[in-house]
Amino acid sequence: MDKLFVGLDVSLKDYKVCFLDTEGERVGKGFALKNNGDDSQVLVERVVQAAVKIKAGKVLIGYESTSVYGWHLQYFLADAPELAPFSPTIICFNPSLIENHKKSIGDLPKTDRMDAFVIADRLRGRLPKSASPDFRYLALQRLTRHRFHIVECIVREKNYYLSNLFLKCSGLCQTGVFANNFGAAATGLVDELDDFEQIADLPLEELVVWLVEKGREKFDNPDETAKKLQSAIKTSYRVHPSVDNSLNLVLRSCLSSIASLEKQKKAIEKSIKEQVKFFEREYTCLKSVKGIGEVIAAGLIAEIAGISRFEDDDALAKFAGIYWNKRQSGEFTADESELRRRGNKYLRYYFVMAADHMRIWLPEYRDFYSRKFKESKTHHHKRALILTSRKAVRLVFALLRENKLYSPAHQ
């Protein structure tokens, strides 16, 4: 069966197009279209014309993963009824694959039209496993990915806050006066009191009363905490008053940003709970696993986007980037190999989070993690956790494929 290969080099405003036949010969001249709905309809019509011209029974369309610029185009083509008779397959290539293929062809110029040709030519070779896009999961995916983005922002903002807190009061960061530098008492210290020197000179009884009030009476030993706090302030480096004033402003700004981000995270999580109700079957299966909560279950559902897209758990693991390539030459076989992080980073994140919780709540996963932790020569926790994540992939695949609740038999 003859095939038509369509290479697309997509950018913000437009995309370049190249058609190749089964023999690798160009079908017509390359052309450019604007990256919008009207011009993409023109693309559909030209693809149909080219396929009919060479009597192709199958159309393969490829483009590079370039931010979100190809997102609309992918779903537009997948949903185009005119292309349905040609059973279109749409491949989103990792840019490194296209770059390596381009090197294998020869010394080609770096132009958008040539890139479209290289993508079309790459479609003629062995293709990575692909899955048809499923529109039902898009709304949930947008929410779970935005939550991921907010969490990253919170982590970055907290690290930035701690670096400035060290400048203001180095001892506070070094001695671990507070179990959590973002607790009510620790943040109240920064938010309300400009001059830490006053705290060092306060009578111990007054400081204890203040800590208990701000800490909402959660301190096990407020007297000891008060002593540690005064000691940490006294042993800290002294900073110039002008610098201290600037640090006060920066620290309060950071706390305000963190509070705002935390509020947004709660709002997104509320929306996720509402949206995930549309996937009751998958949600019920995953929630039956102790350790997989609402957010993790929603993230897995959104990124997997239908378990029928994957042949087996190996395909799912590869899609998530939780797999290892073997290294062997002659009689040599490497004892260790690197984890390949070329898959869906969001799905990998949720599998790792799930594994980290499951090892706490489920005995078989706790035992598996402990065994791999002991076997690892370096990076014990990371290696054991990733291996546990791969075990979690197998479980999640089985539950969703069989549409069953968790039982120890699924381990």
What residue ranges do the domains of the chain occupy? 3-133, 141-272, 279-410
Chain-centroid distance, C-alpha 7? 27
Give the pLDDT confidence of 142-197 residue by residue, as tens digits.
999 999 999 999 999 999 999 999 998 888 888 878 888 888 888 888 877 667 77
Look at residues 141, 144, 138 and name the one whose alpha carbon lies nearest to residue 293: 144
Q: Residue 233, by phi and psi: left (phi above 0), alpha (psi -120 to 50) or beta?
A: alpha
Q: What is the mean pLDDT of residues 358-376?
A: 93
The conformation of residue 85, written as its DSSP 8-state character, comes to G
Q: What is the mean pLDDT of residues 348-371?
A: 95
Whether residue 318 is predicted with pLDDT greater than 50 in this model: the reply is yes
Q: Does domain 3-133 have CATH number 3.30.420.10?
A: yes
Name every residue whose Cβ is closer than 8 Å to that of residue 294 and which is 6 or more positions away in sequence.
269, 272, 273, 276, 287
- 329 band by pLDDT with thresholds 50, 70 and 90: very low
- Measure the CA–CA gap between 124 and 4, rounded to whole angstroms: 9
For 117-141, the pLDDT digits (tens) are 999 999 998 876 665 667 789 899 9
Q: What is the mean pLDDT of residues 2-6?
A: 94
Q: Which band of pLDDT confidence, cut at 50, 70 and 90, is reported for residue 339?
A: low
64 vs 133, which has greater pLDDT?
Answer: 64
User: pTM, whole model, 2 decimals?
Assistant: 0.81
CA separation for the pair 396, 33 (Å, rounded): 42
DSSP letters along 298-343, please?
HHHHHHH--GGG-SSHHHHHHHHT--B---EETTEE-S---B---S
